[in-house]
Structures are given as structure tokens and as C-alpha cells.
């Protein structure tokens, strides 16, 4: 019985070391991203805005590049699963700008199941709402690097996630 406890404790210590290693890697990545953002902020002081990876960064925050959003707003109603996947892939890049994205997209993702493609009024409303949400997308405020950050994290066997 004592041997089983030692194995369990050993396994827990191994998991703790793995988690610590992942957390350290995450913190290093965050420091690199912070440095990149600080460089972008320095550039902003020289110009009114910078376009980077289909985002527009300016003094008030980050927003979608509206020239790219035209492709979303002009997207025709999908007639096939493949066309729907294309639309969801394009919209998925901007999920952080769409309030309640997971709830809005649920009727559309349910159509991706095998033999489930049936375009209903509920699906059409979700499709239209996604297009409308992106055309009037939020401006995400840039972080204040002079304040302390609190990182809330969650670790599972399959991944590690964090939210500032």
C-alpha cells in the first residue's frame, strides 16, 4: 500500500514539474509578446495607426482591418459544408472582436456534422449576425504595461490556456 502512495506522489511531482515548465514557457512567450507590443506602441507614437496581421493598431486600441472584413460581409449564403467551413475559418480569425462568438456560431457549427447540413431560419440569423458583428466590430483596448498583470491559467492533459 505504501508503494502505491509513493507512485502517486511521484506522478504528482512529475505533473507539477511539467506544469511549471509549461508555465515558464508561457511567461517567456508573454514577455516576448509584450516587447513586440511595446515596439508597436513606439511606432504608434510616430504614426496615427499601423496595420499588422489584418488588424489596425492605433492609439485607442486594436480593431479589425475593415478592408479584410468586406470579404466576410460579401460572403454568399453557403450551400455546402465546404463553403460553410471556409466562412467559419475566415470569421474565426476575428473571434475576439465578436461578442458571444461561441453562442452565435453554434447553429452554424452544428451543420458541420455528417449529414446535418440543413439551412434553417435559425442558422440564417446566426450567419447574418456574424457578418453584422464583424462589420461593426469592437475596438480592443491595448494593455497598460505600467500596471501589474494577473494571469489566470488552466492546465489539462491536452493543453494549457491563460487569460490576462
pLDDT digits (tens, 9 = 90+) for 56-115: 877 778 887 877 788 888 899 999 999 999 999 988 888 887 888 888 899 999 999 888
pTM for the model: 0.55
8-44 tens-digit pLDDT? 555 555 677 777 888 888 888 888 888 888 877 766 5
Please give the torsion angle defined by the CA atoms of residues 70, 74, 78 and 81, in that order, rounded to the nearest 10 degrees.
-20
Q: Structural domain boundaries of the chain? A: 2-52+142-163, 69-135
Residues 26 and 40: beta-carbon distance below 8 Å = no
Domain 69-135, classified CATH 3.30.70.270, yes or no: yes
Amino acid at each position: 500500500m505504501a508503494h502505491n502512495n509513493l507512485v502517486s506522489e511521484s506522478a504528482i511531482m512529475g505533473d507539477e514539474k511539467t506544469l511549471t515548465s509549461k508555465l515558464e514557457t508561457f511567461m517567456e512567450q508573454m514577455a516576448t509578446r509584450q516587447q513586440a507590443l511595446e515596439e508597436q506602441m513606439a511606432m504608434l507614437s510616430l504614426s496615427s495607426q499601423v496595420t499588422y496581421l489584418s488588424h489596425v493598431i492605433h492609439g485607442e486600441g486594436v480593431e479589425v482591418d475593415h478592408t479584410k472584413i468586406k470579404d466576410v460581409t460579401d460572403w454568399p449564403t453557403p450551400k455546402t459544408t465546404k463553403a460553410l467551413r471556409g466562412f467559419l475559418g475566415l470569421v474565426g480569425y476575428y473571434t475576439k472582436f465578436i461578442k458571444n462568438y461561441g453562442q452565435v456560431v453554434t447553429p452554424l457549427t452544428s451543420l458541420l456534422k455528417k449529414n446535418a447540413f440543413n439551412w434553417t431560419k435559425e442558422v440564417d440569423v446566426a450567419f447574418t449576425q456574424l457578418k453584422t458583428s464583424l462589420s461593426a466590430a469592437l475596438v480592443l483596448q491595448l494593455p497598460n504595461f505600467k500596471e501589474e498583470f494577473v494571469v489566470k491559467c488552466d492546465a489539462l492533459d491536452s493543453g494549457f490556456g491563460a487569460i490576462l
